[in-house]
Amino acid sequence: MTGPFPDRSDHDGGFTLLELLVALVVFGIVLAGLTQGTRSGLTLFQRQRAVLSTSGQLAETDQLLRHIIEEAEPGSQDDTHTLTGTAHAIALRGHVPTGIAPSALARLSDLRLSLEGHDLVLTWLAHRHAIALAPRPPPRQAVLMPGVSGLEISYFAHGQWLASWGADQLPDLVRIRIFPADEPDRHWPDIVISPMRARHD
C-alpha cells in the first residue's frame, strides 16, 4: 500500500546542482569568447576605417602635389630661382587649383610645402608681377594631412638625387616622402613628380 505521496523516481525532470554549475561555467566561457570576438572585430573595423581614411587623404594629397609641381613655373633668364627647396620644405611659383584660388587671375601663386608640428601644410600667396602699391594680403594655409611625423624631399638632376635645390632651372624630378606619426619608422609610398613646363637655357 502506498502513501498519500507517490515516490519520485530518479528519472523525473529537473537538474542537479552540479549540472547547473557546469552549464553556468560553459555559458560563461561562451560569453567571454563572444565578447573577445566582438572587441577584436570592432578594433579591426576601426583600424580598417583609419587606413581607408588615411589612404583617401594620401591620394588627395598626391593628386594636389602633382598638379602644383607639374605646373611649376620655370621662370626666365631675368626671373630665375622659381623653385627652391631643402630636405624638409619646398617653395615654388605655381598654379593652385581653381577651387582654391579666389579667381582665375590669382591662380599663379608663390607656394610653400612644409611640416608644421604634425600637420603637412600648404601655404600660398598670389604672385605679383609688378611692385605693389598696397600691402600684400596675408598668405593662406591649408592642412593637407594631419598626423605626420616627418617630411623628406629630394630633387633629381644630373643623374643623382640631391637633398636641396637652388639652381636656376627646375629639377628633373621631385620626390616627396611622408612619414605617419603612428609609424614614424615607415613612410607612405613616394610621391615622385616631374615638372613638365619647358625649361629655359
Write a three-state SS string for 10-54: CCCCCCCHHHHHHHHHHHHHHHHHHHHHHHHHHHHHHHHHHHHHH
How many structural domains is the chain composed of? 1
Residue 74 near residue 108 (C-beta atoms within 8 A): no
pLDDT at 87: 96
> Is 9 inside any structural domain?
no
pLDDT surpasses 90 at 105: no
Q: Average the pLDDT over 87-112 and give the result.
A: 77
> Is 201 inside any structural domain?
yes
> Is 47 inside any structural domain?
yes
Domain carrying residue 170: 17-129+139-201
pLDDT at 136: 67
Q: For residue 172, what is its C-alpha cell?
A: 628633373
Report the share of the chain in percent with pLDDT over 70: 72
Between CA 14 and CA 80 the distance in angstroms is: 95
> Is 182 inside any structural domain?
yes
Looking at per-residue pLDDT, the higher value among 156 and 188 belongs to 156
Select, from the ranges 13-22, 125-134, 141-150, the one with the highest average predicted confidence (pLDDT): 141-150
> Is 144 inside any structural domain?
yes
Q: Average the pLDDT over 133-144 and give the result.
A: 78
- Identify the H or E element spanning 67: helix 17-70
Average pLDDT, the chain: 79
> Is 165 inside any structural domain?
yes
> Is 22 inside any structural domain?
yes
Looking at per-residue pLDDT, the higher value among 198 and 163 belongs to 163
Q: Average the pLDDT over 170-182 and give the result.
A: 92
Between CA 34 and CA 198 the distance in angstroms is: 64
Looking at per-residue pLDDT, the higher value among 186 and 66 belongs to 66
Among residues 23, 35, 108, which one has the least CA distance to residue 71? Answer: 108
Between CA 178 and CA 113 the distance in angstroms is: 12
- Please compute Rg for the chain using Cα positions: 32
Q: Average the pLDDT over 39-43 and give the result.
A: 61
> Is 198 inside any structural domain?
yes
Q: Average the pLDDT over 117-128 and give the result.
A: 89
